[in-house]
C-alpha cells in the first residue's frame, strides 16, 4: 500500500552538515595499492582518507563533478573523471592534491577504470574511431592511444591485472539495479593481449558489479539467489524478504568461475567494491557507510570526517522579470496572481509612479511546489496547489496574512481547480483510487465527491451556468489501437440525480467541453475543430438555428432534452487549439489559434486575432483578458476598439535555497513514485523505508549529477526498468569531436594515422575524396597527427560538418591532399550499421538460393515503421520466408502496428480487364517468418517477438531478451532533475509479467565478438536453417 515519507524528517536532512562532519554517502571507493588509504567521491570532489578512518582531505576542488578515482600502481597519482569541460574526461592529480592534468580530449564520455600494470597508461571503455565500444589505454605522459579490442555489446570496468591481462564486465544493466536478473546482467570476462583471446569467467544471469583484481584474486559484488519483483496479472507477490543469497554481497571469484561469498548481509547490499593492488584489503559502501575488511575476515565500518565547504553558492539571489506561468486575475480586475520559481506572487495591473512601481509581492515561501489556481470569490484569498503536506493538495492562501490552510484532506494529488457558478464552492479534480470531482465550501468545510472518476487521467470538465450539470470527457476503453489512443466522448452528469449521459457518441478525440453563457449550447473540440451542441431540439428552418446570443436578464436555467442529442452537433469553426472561454456579456468566446489568441462570435463567425499566443484567462466581468506570452504578463482591453494589449511588468526579488530545493526535489520524486508507480506493491519493496534510507544520504549531494545518482539509487531498489534519472540543466557546454570516416590501425605507431577500414558510403569511399585502407594520414588541416589525444584537442573537436584537408601518404609512397566534409561519430555508426544490415540481407538471399530475405528494425518508432514497410514490400514479394531482426532495437511503441501488417491475409482477387489478377488487400505477407532477438532487444522490441509467437506468426531465434518492458512517462523536479516513471505494466496473455522476465527464443544461438567482427553471424545462420526447413 502507499505510504508517506514524513516531511519533518526529510527537511532536517541537510541540517546535520557542519564543519568536520562524519561522512555519509561516499561513492566510488578506491583503495591505494597498499590499502593504507582510500579515495572516494563526495559532494562532487575526490577525497582521500586513511583506510582505518579519520579525516579526509579533498584532492580536487572544482564546481563541476569529479569522481571515479583510481590509483596509479605506485600510489603517487590518482586518475579521475570530471565533466568540467561538458563531458566526462580523464584527469590525473597527485595523490596528495595539486593541479589536475587533463588526459583525454575526445568528446565522448571517458571514465578511468584502472591503470596498466606498468603505471604508464590508464584503462577505460571508449567509443572512438569505430562504430563500436572498445577497451583502450591512454599514455599519461604522451597521450598515445592504444586499442585492445572492440565488442558489439556494452563493456565496462576494465581492470588491469598484474600479468598484463584485463578483467572487464560485459553487458550489464546500470549498477543502480544490482538485483537485476536476466540475459543482460553484467558478466565477468578476461582479455589476454598476448593471445588476443577473451575468456568468459562467470555468467549466471546475475549482475557482477565493480569487478576487482588484486594479488589475492578477483572480486565482484553479485548474488546467488533469485529475488521476485513483478507480480502476475491480478495478483501480488506481497512484501519480498531478502535472503543473504538474494542480497548483493562481496564474492571472491576464481578463474574457473566459482564464487565464494565474503560478506553475509541480507537486505541492504554492498556497493562500490574496491580491492588494494596487494590483495590484502577490500572496501565497500553499504547504506551510506564505508566498510573495510581483509579477504576472509569480517568487515568493519570506518568513520571518516571532512571539513566540507559548499561547491557553489547555496543561496541564489535573483531578480525576476519574466518566467511567469499559471496567472489568474482578481474578480475586480485589479490584481494578478502568478507563479514564478514555484512560488505565488502578486502584482497590480495599474501601476503607480516611481522606480518601484513594478514590484511584485511574494506570497509563499516554500522550497517545493506552490501553484496558484484561482482567486476566491471575494478576492481576499486564492486557491493554490502545494506539496507542503506530502501530496499536491489544494490549499487556501490568505492574501493579507499569507496564511495557508489545507482544503483537500485526502493524501492524493489534485488539479483542475474552479469556482462553482454560484460562488459557494471551490471545485477540483482528485486523482487516484478515490479520484473524481470534489467540491468544498469556500467559507470552510469538508470536501465532498460529486463525480466519481478513479484513475490518473486528466478530467476536463465544466459547470453549466446554473450549476446543475457538469460536462466532462470520458475515455472509451478499448476503442483505440493503443490504450492511450482510445476514443472518448463528452458526457453530461445531472448533479440532482447523478445520471450521466453520453452526448456525442462518436468515440473520437473530444476535449474541452464548455457551456455557452446563455445555457443553450455545449461547446466542445474535436480534432482541432469547435462544435456547438444544441441542448434542445431545433428546426433548421427556424430563426433560432442561426445561433443568436441574447444576454440573460436573470439566473440562467439550463434544460436539456437528451433524446437524440448526439445528432444535433454542428461545427462552427476550425483551428481551435485550446479550451475556449465564453464572455457572458456578449456570448463571444476566446481561444488559442495557430498564431495567437482569437475572439469569435457566439456562432463561431468573425474570428479575429486579438493578441499573441499563450495561456489566457478571461476576467469575470468580461472586460479584459489576461495572457502570458514568453513568461511575461499582458492584459487586453476587450471594451476598447482594436483590443489594445498592455504589458504588466513585474520585478520580484527572490532567494533560491539550493539545499532546500534539493530536499523538495527528493520528496517530489519519492511522492511521484508513491502516487504513480504502476505497481502499488512496489515490486515487493518497502517504498517508505527506502525513502528514509536514501534521505540519510542527501548531505552527500553537492552537484546536480550526484542528485540524479542518489535518486537513481533509490528507484533502482525497485528493480524496475524505464526509471532512469538524469541531471538537470547546468554545467559547461561540451565540444563535439568530428569523425574522419574511417577507422584507425592502432598497431601502427606513426608518424601519422594509418587507415584501417573505409566503409561503403563513408565520405572517403567516393572517388573525389577516396582514401584507401593501409594509407597514412600525415596531417589534418596542416597539423601533424597521430593516434594521440592531441588529434581531438588540436584538430577534430567542433569540426563535424566542416571541410577538413588531409595530407595522405599512399601505399605507393606518394602524398596528396584530400578535402571533404567531416561527419559526426553518430553518422559514422549509422553508415557502418546500414552496411552490415545490407550485407545481412544479401547473405540471406544468397545462402537461401533467393528463397528468403531479411529486414532489420532498428527502433519501434514512426520513422522505422515507415522504413520497415518500405523494405518489407521491396524485398519480400516472391520470397518463401522472411527474417525480421530486432537485435539492437531499443524499443518504442509500434509493435502492434507491425503485427497488424503481418497478420493480414488475402480475402479477395481483383482482375482489371486485360491485366493480371491482383490480390486484396495488396500488402499481405503470408509466408513463414523468423524473428531474431537478443540481449540488446529492449522494451517494445521484446513485446514484438513475444506477440509474434503468441499469434503463431513467427518462430524466435537468438538469445533471451533482457525483460526491460514497461510503459513510462517523464517528469521534471523542482531542481531541474529529469526522471522517468513507469505508469503502466505489461503482462502476457497468460498473466506473466514481461518486466524482469525476458522472452525466450525457440532456437538459442550465440554470437561471439570474434565472430561478429569477422563478419560471421551464427544467429543469422540458425534463422536461415530453421526457416529453410519450414
Q: What is the mean pLDDT of the chain?
A: 95
In whole angstroms, what separates CA 999 from the centre of its chain? 24
Whether residue 543 is predicted with pLDDT greater than 50 in this model: the reply is no
Beta-strand relationship, 881-885 and 852-856? parallel
Angstrom distance (rounded) from CA 525 to CA 383? 28
Q: Are strands 776-780 and 753-754 parallel, antiparallel or unpaired?
A: antiparallel
Which helix (H) or strand (E) segment holds residue 139: the answer is: strand 133-139
Q: What is the pLDDT of residues 610-625, one digit of tens each?
A: 999 999 999 999 999 9
Q: What is the mean pLDDT of residues 41-45?
A: 96
Encode pLDDT of 702-741 as tens digits. Answer: 999 999 999 999 999 999 999 999 999 999 999 999 999 9
Q: What is the pLDDT of residue 1?
A: 38
Q: pLDDT per residue over 398-433, tens digit each? A: 999 999 999 999 999 999 999 999 999 999 999 999
What distance in Å separates the CA atoms of residue 56 and residue 885, rounded to the nearest whole number?
Answer: 53
SS3 category, 785: coil
Cis peptide bond prior to 751, omega within 30° of 0: yes
Q: Residue 484's pLDDT is what?
A: 76
pLDDT band, residue 17 (cuts 50/70/90): very low
**Mean predicted confidence (pLDDT) in 131-145:** 97
286 has which bridge partners?
Answer: 289
42, with CB counted inside 10 A (0-12, 13-18, 19+), is buried
Q: What is the 3-state secondary structure (H, E, C) of 309-359?
A: CCCCCCEEEEEECCCCEEEEECCCCCEEEEEECCEEEEEECCCCCCCCCCE
d(CA 688, CA 695): 11
Residue 80 — very low, low, confident or very high, per pLDDT cuts 50/70/90?
Answer: very high
992-1009 average pLDDT score: 97
Q: List, in sequence order, every residue forming a beta bridge with 124; answer none if it has no partner.
A: 112, 136
pLDDT (average), residues 228-255: 97
Q: Rounded distance, CA 749 to CA 786, Å?
A: 8
Q: Name the band, by pLDDT with cuts 50, 70 and 90, for residue 9.
A: very low
How far apart CA 167 and CA 284 sit, in angstroms, is: 19
Nearest CA to 726 among 981, 969, 977? Answer: 977
d(CA 986, CA 264): 35
- Can you give 393-418 as a three-state secondary structure string? EEEEEECCCCCEEECCCCCCCEEEEE
Query: Using one digit for the tens of pLDDT, what is the confidence trace for 636-677?
Result: 999 999 999 999 999 999 999 999 999 999 999 999 999 999
d(CA 716, CA 419): 42
Separation CA 837–CA 959 (nearest Å): 19
d(CA 674, CA 691): 10
According to the model, what pLDDT value does residue 2 have?
Answer: 47
- Looking at domain 828-963+998-1029, its CATH superfamily turns out to be 2-enoyl-CoA Hydratase; Chain A, domain 1 (3.90.226.10)
Cβ contact 613:600 at 8 Å: no
**Cell 478525440, residue located:** 509
pLDDT exceeds 80 at position 13: no
Q: How confident is the model over 851-877, as a mean pLDDT?
A: 97
Q: What mean pLDDT do residues 910-925 have? A: 92
What's the confidence (pLDDT) of residue 8? 39
Cis geometry, peptide bond prior to residue 921 (ω within 30 degrees of 0): yes
Strand order in the sheet with 187-192: 155-160, 166-170, 187-192, 197-202
**pLDDT at residue 311, as a whole number:** 78
- The confidence score (pLDDT) of residue 462 equals 97
pLDDT band at 20 (very low <50, low <70, confident <90, very high): low
pLDDT given for residue 478 in this prediction: 76
**18-232+248-306 and 753-823: same fold?**
no
For the record, the C-alpha cell of 609 comes out as 486575432
Whether residue 104 has pLDDT greater than 60: yes
Q: What percentage of the chain has pLDDT greater than the value 70?
A: 97
Q: Under 8 Å CB-to-CB from 830, ≥6 apart: which residues? A: none
Q: Is the domain covering 18-232+248-306 a CATH 3.40.309.10 domain?
A: no
Confidence band for 11, pLDDT divided at 50, 70 and 90: very low
The pLDDT of residue 309 is: 85
Other residues' Cβ atoms within 10 Å of the Cβ of residue 129? 27
Residue 16 in this model has a pLDDT that exceeds 50: no
Output the pTM of the full model.
0.91
Q: pLDDT digits over 188-234, tens only?
A: 999 999 999 999 999 999 999 999 999 999 999 999 999 999 999 99
Mean predicted confidence (pLDDT) in 938-949: 98
CA distance 70 to 922: 62
pLDDT greater than 50 at residue 12: no
CA–CA distances in Å: residue 42 to residues 114, 301, 306, 587:
20, 17, 10, 63
Q: Strand pairing of 209-214 and 133-139?
A: unpaired
pLDDT-based confidence at residue 541 (cuts at 50, 70, 90)? low
Q: 825-847 and 1018-1029 helices cross at what angle (nearest 10)? A: 40
Name the residue with cell 437524440: 564
Q: How confident is the model at residue 239 (pLDDT cuts 50, 70, 90)?
A: very high
Q: Does the pLDDT value for residue 892 go beyond 90?
A: yes
Tell me, what's the pLDDT at 714?
A: 98
Measured between alpha carbons, how far is 533 from 562 in angstroms, rounded to an integer?
11
The span from the CA of 237 to the CA of 987, in Å, is 15
Grid cell digits, residue 372: 496558484
- H/E segment holding residue 837: helix 825-847
Contact by Cβ (8 Å): 470, 497 = no
**Per-residue model confidence (pLDDT) at position 953:** 97
Per-residue pLDDT band at 486 (split at 50, 70, 90) = confident
Least reliable range by pLDDT among 86-90, 97-101, 916-920, 1019-1023: 916-920
Are 736 and 74 a contacting pair, CB within 8 Å? no
As to burial, measured by CB atoms within 10 angstroms (0-12 exposed, 13-18 middle, 19+ buried), residue 362 is middle
Confidence of residue 314 (pLDDT cuts 50, 70, 90): confident
Name the residue ranges covered by the structural domains of the chain: 18-232+248-306, 753-823, 828-963+998-1029
Instruction: Please state, in angstroms and rounded to a whole number, the distance separating the CA atoms of residues 925 and 635.
Output: 60
C-alpha cell at 388: 507542503
For residue 875, give the nearest of 885, 889, 888 by alpha carbon.
885
Q: Give 281's pLDDT tier (boundaries 50, 70, 90).
A: very high
* Helix axis angle, 658-676 to 687-695, nearest 10°: 170
pLDDT digits (tens, 9 = 90+) for 551-563: 998 889 999 999 9
Q: Coil, strand, or helix at residue 449?
A: strand
Rounded (5°) CA angle 587-588-590? 135
CATH number of this structure's domain 753-823, picked from the four choices 3.40.1110.10, 2.30.42.10, 3.30.497.10, 3.30.930.10: 2.30.42.10
Q: What is the 3-state secondary structure (H, E, C) of 899-932?
A: HHHHCCCCCEEECCCCCCCEEECCCCCCCCEEEE
SS3 707: helix
Q: How far apart are CA 437 and CA 420, in angstroms?
A: 12
**pLDDT level of residue 93 (50, 70, 90 thresholds):** very high
Distance CA 519, CA 537 (A): 14
Amino acid at each position: 500500500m502507499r505510504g508517506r515519507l514524513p516531511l519533518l524528517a526529510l527537511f532536517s536532512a541537510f541540517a546535520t552538515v557542519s564543519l568536520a562532519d562524519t561522512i555519509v554517502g561516499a561513492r566510488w571507493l578506491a583503495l591505494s595499492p597498499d590499502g593504507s588509504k582510500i579515495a572516494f567521491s563526495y559532494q562532487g570532489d575526490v577525497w582521500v582518507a586513511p583506510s582505518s578512518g579519520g579525516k579526509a582531505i579533498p584532492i580536487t576542488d572544482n564546481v563541476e563533478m569529479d569522481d571515479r578515482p583510481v590509483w596509479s600502481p605506485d600510489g603517487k597519482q590518482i586518475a579521475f573523471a570530471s565533466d568540467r569541460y561538458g563531458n566526462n574526461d580523464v584527469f590525473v592529480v597527485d595523490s596528495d592534491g595539486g593541479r589536475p592534468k587533463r588526459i583525454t580530449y575526445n568528446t565522448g564520455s571517458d571514465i578511468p577504470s584502472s591503470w596498466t600494470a606498468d603505471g604508464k597508461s590508464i584503462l577505460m571503455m571508449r567509443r572512438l574511431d569505430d562504430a563500436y565500444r572498445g577497451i583502450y589505454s591512454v599514455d599519461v605522459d604522451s597521450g598515445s592511444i592504444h586499442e585492445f579490442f572492440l565488442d558489439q555489446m556494452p563493456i565496462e570496468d576494465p581492470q588491469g591485472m598484474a600479468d598484463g591481462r584485463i578483467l572487464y564486465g560485459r553487458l550489464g544493466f546500470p549498477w543502480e539495479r544490482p538485483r537485476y536478473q536476466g540475459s543482460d546482467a553484467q558478466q565477468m570476462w578476461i582479455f589476454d593481449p598476448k593471445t588476443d583471446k577473451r575468456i568468459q569467467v562467470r555468467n549466471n544471469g546475475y549482475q557482477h558489479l565493480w569487478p576487482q583484481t588484486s594479488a589475492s584474486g578477483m572480486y565482484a559484488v553479485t548474488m546467488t539467489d533469485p529475488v521476485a519483483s513483478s507480480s502476475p496479472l491480478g495478483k501480488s507477490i506481497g512484501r519480498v524478504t531478502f535472503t543473504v543469497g538474494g542480497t548483493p554481497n562481496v564474492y571472491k571469484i576464481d578463474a574457473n568461475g566459482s564464487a565464494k561469498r565474503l560478506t553475509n548481509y541480507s537486505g541492504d547490499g554492498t556497493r562500490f567494491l574496491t580491492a588494494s593492488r596487494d590483495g590484502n584489503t577490500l572496501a565497500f559502501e553499504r547504506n551510506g557507510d564505508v566498510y573495510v575488511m581483509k579477504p576472509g575476515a569480517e568487515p568493519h565500518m570506518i568513520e571518516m570526517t571532512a571539513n566540507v565547504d559548499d561547491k557553489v553558492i547555496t543561496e541564489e539571489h535573483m531578480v525576476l522579470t519574466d518566467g511567469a506561468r499559471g496567472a489568474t486575475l482578481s474578480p475586480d480586475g485589479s490584481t494578478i496572481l502568478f507563479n514564478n520559481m514555484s512560488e505565488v506572487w502578486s502584482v497590480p495591473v495599474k501601476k503607480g509612479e516611481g522606480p518601484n512601481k513594478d514590484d511584485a509581492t511574494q506570497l509563499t515561501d516554500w522550497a517545493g511546489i506552490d501553484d496558484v489556481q484561482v482567486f476566491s470569490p471575494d478576492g481576499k484569498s486564492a486557491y493554490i496547489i502545494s506539496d507542503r503536506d506530502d501530496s499536491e493538495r489544494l490549499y487556501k492562501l490568505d492574501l493579507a496574512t499569507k496564511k495557508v490552510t489545507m482544503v483537500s484532506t485526502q493524501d492524493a494529488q489534485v488539479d483542475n481547480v474552479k469556482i462553482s457558478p454560484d460562488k459557494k464552492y471551490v471545485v477540483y479534480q482528485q486523482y487516484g483510487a478515490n479520484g473524481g470531482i470534489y467540491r468544498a465550501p469556500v467559507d470552510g468545510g469538508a470536501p465532498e465527491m460529486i463525480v466519481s472518476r478513479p484513475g490518473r487521467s486528466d478530467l476536463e470538465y465544466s459547470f453549466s451556468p446554473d450549476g446543475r450539470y457538469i460536462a466532462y470527457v470520458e475515455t472509451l476503453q478499448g476503442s483505440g489501437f493503443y490504450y492511450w489512443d482510445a476514443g472518448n466522448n463528452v458526457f453530461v452528469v445531472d448533479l440532482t440525480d447523478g445520471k450521466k449521459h453520453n452526448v456525442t457518441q462518436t468515440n473520437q478525440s473530444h476535449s474541452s467541453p464548455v457551456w455557452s453563457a446563455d445555457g443553450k449550447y455545449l461547446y466542445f473540440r474535436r480534432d482541432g475543430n469547435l462544435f456547438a451542441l444544441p441542448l434542445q431540439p431545433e428546426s433548421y428552418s427556424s430563426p433560432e438555428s442561426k445561433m443568436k446570443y441574447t444576454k440573460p436578464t436573470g439566473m440562467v436555467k439550463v434544460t436539456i432534452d437528451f433524446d437524440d442529442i448526439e445528432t444535433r452537433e454542428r461545427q462552427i469553426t476550425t483551428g481551435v487549439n485550446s479550451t475556449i472561454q465564453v464572455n457572458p456579456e456578449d456570448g463571444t468566446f476566446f481561444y488559442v489559434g495557430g498564431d495567437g489568441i482569437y475572439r469569435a462570435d457566439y456562432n463561431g463567425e468573425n474570428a479575429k486575432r486579438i493578441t499573441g499566443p499563450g495561456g489566457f484567462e478571461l476576467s469575470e466581468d468580461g472586460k479584459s483578458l489576461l495572457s502570458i506570452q514568453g513568461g511575461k504578463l499582458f492584459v487586453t482591453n476587450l471594451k476598447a476598439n482594436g483590443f489594445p494589449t498592455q504589458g504588466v511588468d513585474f520585478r520580484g526579488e527572490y532567494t533560491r535555497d539550493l539545499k532546500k530545493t534539493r530536499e523538495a526535489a527528493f520528496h517530489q520524486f519519492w511522492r511521484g513514485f508513491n502516487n504513480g508507480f504502476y505497481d502499488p506493491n512496489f515490486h515487493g519493496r518497502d517504498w517508505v523505508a527506502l525513502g528514509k534510507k536514501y534521505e540519510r544520504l542527501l548531505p552527500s549531494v553537492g552537484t546536480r549529477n550526484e542528485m540524479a545518482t542518489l535518486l537513481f539509487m533509490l528507484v533502482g531498489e525497485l528493480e524496475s526498468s524505464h526509471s532512469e534519472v538524469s541531471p538537470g540543466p547546468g554545467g559547461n557546454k561540451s565540444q563535439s569531436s568530428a569523425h574522419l570516416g574511417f577507422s584507425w590501425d592502432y598497431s601502427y605507431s606513426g608518424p601519422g594515422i594509418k587507415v584501417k577500414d573505409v566503409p561503403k558510403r563513408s565520405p572517403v569511399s567516393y572517388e573525389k575524396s577516396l582514401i584507401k585502407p593501409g594509407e597514412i594520414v600525415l596531417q589534418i588541416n596542416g597539423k601533424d597527427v597521430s593516434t594521440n589525444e592531441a588529434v581531438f584537442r588540436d584538430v577534430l573537436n567542433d569540426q563535424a560538418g566542416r571541410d577538413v584537408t588531409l595530407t595522405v601518404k599512399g601505399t605507393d609512397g606518394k602524398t596528396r591532399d584530400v578535402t571533404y566534409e567531416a561527419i559526426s561519430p553518430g553518422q559514422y555508426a549509422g553508415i557502418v550499421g546500414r552496411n552490415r544490415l545490407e550485407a545481412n540481407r544479401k547473405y540471406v538471399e544468397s545462402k537461401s538460393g533467393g528463397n528468403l530475405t531479411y529486414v532489420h528494425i532498428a527502433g519501434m518508432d514512426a520513422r522505422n515503421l515507415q522504413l520497415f514497410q518500405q523494405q518489407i514490400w521491396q524485398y519480400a514479394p516472391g520470397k518463401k520466408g522472411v527474417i525480421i531482426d530486432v537485435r539492437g532495437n531499443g524499443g518504442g511503441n509500434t509493435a502492434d502496428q507491425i503485427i497488424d501488417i503481418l497478420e493480414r491475409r488475402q480475402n479477395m482477387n481483383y482482375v482489371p480487364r486485360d491485366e493480371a489478377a491482383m490480390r486484396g488487400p495488396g500488402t499481405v505477407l503470408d509466408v513463414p517468418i523468423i524473428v531474431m532477438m537478443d540481449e540488446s532487444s529492449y522494451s517494445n522490441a521484446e513485446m514484438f517477438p513475444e506477440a509474434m509467437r503468441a499469434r503463431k506468426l513467427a518462430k524466435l531465434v537468438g538469445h533471451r531478451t533482457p525483460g526491460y518492458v514497461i510503459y513510462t512517462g517523464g517528469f521534471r523536479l523542482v531542481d531541474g532533475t529529469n526522471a522517468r516513471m513507469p505508469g503502466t505494466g505489461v503482462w502476457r496473455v497468460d498473466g506473466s509479467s514481461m518486466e524482469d522476465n525476458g522472452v525466450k527464443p525457440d532456437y538459442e544461438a550465440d554470437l561471439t565478438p570474434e565472430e561478429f567482427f569477422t563478419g560471421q553471424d551464427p544467429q543469422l545462420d540458425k534463422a536461415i536453417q530453421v526457416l529453410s526447413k519450414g
